[in-house]
Structure 1
């Protein structure tokens, strides 16, 4: 039976926490659940609606929790089920929803399912993972590549077969063509819904299914660097990934997921969709089928996680989503400008010395788009990417791809709470344990306590924007109409009833002007002027 859903997620501001790096409560150098619980007031005061926790499940941590060995328990590194209960209860008391990060496409090679599967070709879980025979010459069955470099096939000497891993060799892919696998994963989803979580962020959800015929991917040629999903230096970018991910079979599983989630009141699912088609797949995965079966509540892709952020590019991203969502008969986006997998926004958009005006424009733009918003921890402080020495790297992706790609550690360093503390307040009081990643000295002056004391700091700008947005029906629930593409200014109108709110952003380092559509004015003016990185929110009137 379908439970009621109040649609809170449609305009939600979701604050992403990377648990290892938020707050260490026990002095072991690694963030934990008790530390997050202690700091939830910061998120509530910011004005967020929900927290998203990157994986906290039992894991050998080869990919820092994205390699799950027990879907139904908390890793001792982070605490216990009781600690998670305390976190959920405290979040709910503060009016915050709790979203957890579920990794369904693959597990750890330490998961009991895989340990059994690899023992033989005829055991009860023999086909729970993707196994394939070698070619006659011993090579893998096709040309599929791993996101983390090299073939996505790993030889297993027990079965004398290859198994598929789209990421690390220690992250074997589950076989979603087997209904028993889907059932087992749905049971794990239900476990946490029964526990009381409010929703899921579904990691790499378009990787769940592979081509059953194991056909090789076509080549894409030398990459030009425009693909936001993978670095041009990575051989993964040299293929069109039409057979190893984003298969149409996934839609049926999403419908099963939605049917389960809909049994719980006011829950939601947002999917991470890493694919070159980006917004088109977000619309497809979050739109109902022709028969009316519902899928994800919303999705996000990497289109706004790219280096490019000029007005024509952003206009194109928004226009594409509005078009494909209309064609799909629905679709809903969650807009992210940063996360734990990409270079921090301040550095990615602003370089080594980001203009403060640009860092104020970014959240204003993000919070005015039609859909939900995801803020990564530290965006509210304007943290730049940390410079991590090779000997301090923890990310296997960065270690493999060094030096052209330094991995993801630079956006995962400990959160700066206290500008005067040697560890920036990340560790437990009196702790002398070295944090799992070095603290960034470039973050010291941007720590929470320093910004709290400065009324003009970026942190207060974020709080003001989040609080103001709640009072604007056009931004919370209005339609969006793009104005014509402009070389400098991205502009659109959010409409709710009779209200028409212009949202305009000069994405350039030079002053700019914008001619309003014929018949529209702002304060009796038909042309608006902008400073570099200037922002205008204004009521449109007709003349």
Structure 2
């Protein structure tokens, strides 16, 4: 038996997170780019689906060389999305639906057009960024664009200069390695608090923090970076005790003890966690990083993968966390291919959602995954989407498919004015069609979210007993719900370890049957069975 620990702020225990890429979600004014008013108009979809927490990708003033992750004003929204009043209307309307809204905090860098950087590039006494004093630029540094001699360190693209949070280690001949308690790092930590306080006072529920592990440089074991976030979490608990911070770190065993309420299993996370995510549903077809070894994942039809790496990483993370905090399991995100990618077909998606919504992690749905939107290969580079010859993130950022009408209901603009082209597949899924079909993926996801909301045993807290970690994958949640998932094209059979499980009542299933001795799971099948009420379950 493995136990998942509940924690964080209490509302997180029942949270279902939904990520919105604002450029591509809904366009209200016909300019081809999604906006705040469009999101507000579509909140009914999220409320109907059962989502109660939304994370919006960066929506601040930016030159958009990295789709908004190059912020040039942390306190002003980008005009392409509307006004501050439009955003306030969105937050208030979401609150009316019982939905909390989180913003994306870009903590480790700014745009090279940010006033902070423009000033720093002309003032050698400014230490908000990491600057050499002159001479040849060290490897990885970019020559100064201003009157200041030397070069600056970028955090991602060259147009994203790294904010100076200090270095964990000094090195002779590198005076730019300031300690974490130097003037510049202290000022930047104060700036983070100021930015967060501003938006939290306007009614936002918290932040997802971009590249959260990137702040302190040359930081073995990320100890100083963790110390920074622990300090910030202490302030947050005092100033805004109901707010949350979610990390793009990819290593919950490190980030959650450091102070984050949530961290995501990500494809590029720590050695164990990144492998775990890729071995579960390797959303890499079409965007695979060149240095990744190819591998069979559990949700490949061929059945060459296993859930064990994922289970082991989750088990270790929850053991280390040991208290308040959550591990989040996303379907995908704006940086990697969707669940529906490559050779993965629509019939394979329901089983993935069954696992996501019944495993003791916080589920995160990337917009459109609930209808099976696919990763679209072969798109142009848009706002820094291309990161390599085979790595273009644009395929995961295409417009939301609302209906079967023009532009899939995303925008009234001409097709050539859309932020990104639509999926050209004439059989592309859409919300309206799937809402009308009780057997659709969308309606299944809605029922799964409702079941999770009604059954505490299926949320992030509670326990999980793994009956079999092969095919089918079978486990019991809270002693009450038996879950069976077979994501391969070949059927599978599992002997029942306890005869009383044969009397479990089906709650949600497709292709899974039971008799007194065994469970049989057809290709791409799933089943959720209720073993009994609390205190009356077939517990071990």
TM-score category (smaller protein): 0.7 to 0.9
> Cα gap change, 1:440/1:14 in structure 2, threshold over 3 Å: closer, same or farther?
same
1:115 to partner: Cα distance = 0.8
CA distance in 2, matches of 1:513, 1:132: 63
Q: Distance in 2 between matches of 1:510 and 1:128?
A: 58
User: What is the RMSD of the two structures over their aligned residues, measured on CA atoms?
Assistant: 2.5
Aligned to 1:132: 132
Flag the 1:480–1:313 CA change in 2: closer, same or farther, 3 A.
Answer: farther
Q: What does residue 494 of structure 1 align with?
A: 477
CA distance in 2: counterparts of 1:120 and 1:478, whole angstroms: 52
Aligned length: 467
Partner residue, 1:459: 442
Deviation at 1:160, TM superposition (A): 3.3
- The reply on whether 1:386 has 2:386 as its aligned counterpart is no
Per the TM alignment, residue 269 of structure 1 is displaced from its structure 2 partner at its CA by 1.3
Deviates more, 1:310-319 or 1:198-207: 310-319
| 8 A Cα contact 1:5 1:266, kept in partner | no
Structure 2, gaps ≥5 residues long: 1-6, 167-184, 267-273, 284-295, 300-304, 504-514, 532-537
* Partners of 1:314 and 1:486 in 2: CA distance: 6
CA contact (8 A) 1:28 1:433 kept: no
Q: For the residues of structure 2 that align with 1:436 and 1:444, how far apart are their CA atoms?
A: 21
1: distance between equivalents of 2:317 and 2:192?
30
By how many angstroms is 1:355 displaced?
A: 4.4
**Preserved CA contact (<8 Å) 1:21 1:31:** yes
Shift of 1:386: 1.4
* 8 Å Cα contact 2:359/2:459 also seen in 1: no
Taking a change above 3 Å as real, the CA distance of residues 15 and 119 of structure 1, as seen in their structure-2 partners, is same
Give runs of aligned pairs for residues 369-408 of structure 1, distance below 5 A. 369-389=359-379, 392-398=380-386, 401-402=388-389, 404-405=390-391, 407-408=392-393
Aligned to 2:257: 287
Matches within 5 A, 1:156-167: 156=144, 158-167=147-156
- Is the contact between residue 33 and residue 79 of structure 1 (CA under 8 Å) also seen in structure 2? yes
Deviation at 1:48, TM superposition (A): 0.4
Give the distance between the partners of 1:189 and 1:486, measured in 2 at CA: 42
The answer on whether the counterparts of 2:165 and 2:215 sit within 8 Å (CA) in structure 1 is yes
Distance 2:345 2:99 in 1: 31
Name the counterpart of 1:315: 308
* Residue in 1 that maps onto 2:47: 44
Residue 252 of structure 1 deviates from its aligned partner by 1.9
| Structure 1 range deviating more: 528-537 or 182-191 | 528-537
Q: Decide whether aligned partners of structure 1 residues 477 and 415 sit closer, same or farther in structure 2, where only a CA change above 3 A counts.
A: closer
Residue number in structure 2 paired with 1:301: 265
1:173–1:79 Cα change, 3 Å: same
Aligned counterpart in structure 1 of residue 189 of structure 2, from 182, 185, 197: 182
**CA shift for structure 1 position 133:** 5.2
Name the CA shift for 1:50/1:79 in 2 (closer, same or farther; >3 Å). same
Match of 2:457 in 1: 474
Residue segments in structure 1 that go unaligned for 5+ positions in a row: 142-151, 212-241, 289-294
In 2 relative to 1, CA 383–355 (structure 1 residues): closer, same or farther, beyond 3 Å?
closer
Distance, in Å, in 1 between the alignment partners of 2:264 and 2:369 is 18
Alignment equivalent of 1:424, drawn from 401, 408, 416: 408
- Deviation of 1:84 after TM superposition, in Å, equals 0.5
Q: For 1:508-531, what per-residue CA distance to the aligned partner results, in whole angstroms no more than 9, with x for missing partners?
A: 211111234467633273421111
Relative to structure 1, is the Cα distance of residues 267 and 361 closer, same or farther in structure 2, using a 3 angstrom cutoff?
same
Inter-CA distance 41–140: structure 2 relative to 1 (3 Å threshold) = same
**Does residue 39 of structure 2 align to residue 21 of structure 1?**
no
Which 10-residue stretch deviates more, 445-454 or 303-312?
A: 303-312
Alignment TM-score, normalising by the size of structure 1: 0.80
Alignment of 1:155 with 2:140, yes or no, is no
CA contact (8 A) 1:17 1:376 kept: yes
Q: Is the 8 A contact 1:515 1:526 kept in 2?
A: yes
SS in 2 for 1:101: strand
Q: How far, CA to CA, are the matches of 1:355 and 1:329 in structure 2?
A: 37
Q: What TM-score do you get using the length of structure 2 for normalisation? A: 0.81
Distance in 1, matches of 2:344 and 2:426, equals: 13
Counterparts of 1:13 and 1:479 in 2: how far apart (Å)?
16
Which residue among 327, 330, 334 is the counterpart of 2:328? 334
Q: Give the Cα–Cα distance (whole angstroms) in 2 for the partners of residues 445 and 324 of structure 1.
A: 37
- 1:490-514 per-position Cα deviation (integer Å, ceiling 9, x unaligned): 233221xxx4322221132111112
Aligned to 2:512: none
